A and B are shown apart, each in its own frame.
Chain A
Amino acid sequence: GAVVSQHPSRVICKSGTSVKIECRSLDFQATTMFWYRQFPKQSLMLMATSNEGSKATYEQGVEKDKFLINHASLTLSTLTVTSAHPEDSSFYICSAATQTGFGYTFGSGTRLTVV
Chain B
Amino acid sequence: SQELEQSPQSLIVQEGKNLTINCTSSKTLYGLYWYKQKYGEGLIFLMMLQKGGEEKSHEKITAKLDEKKQQSSLHITASQPSHAGIYLCGALNTNAGKSTFGDGTTLTVKP
> Are the C-beta atoms of A43 and B102 separated by less than 8 Å?
yes
Q: Does A61 contact B (CB under 8 A)?
A: no
User: Contact check: which of A41, A93, A108 meets B106 at CB < 8 Å?
Assistant: A41
Interface residues in B, total, Cβ within 8 A: 23
Stretch binding the partner chain, chosen from A11-19, A62-70, A73-81, A98-106: A98-106
In the complex the two chains form, what is the Cα distance from A107 to B90 in whole Å?
A: 16
Stretch binding the partner chain, chosen from B12-20, B65-73, B77-85, B91-99: B91-99
- B residues with CB within 8 A of A: 31, 33, 35, 39-43, 45, 48, 88, 90, 92, 96-104, 106
Q: A49, A95, A103: which has the most chain B beta carbons within 10 Å?
A: A103
Given contacts A32-B97, A49-B98, A97-B97, A108 and B42 within 8 Å (CB-CB): yes
Interface residues in A, total, Cβ within 8 A: 25
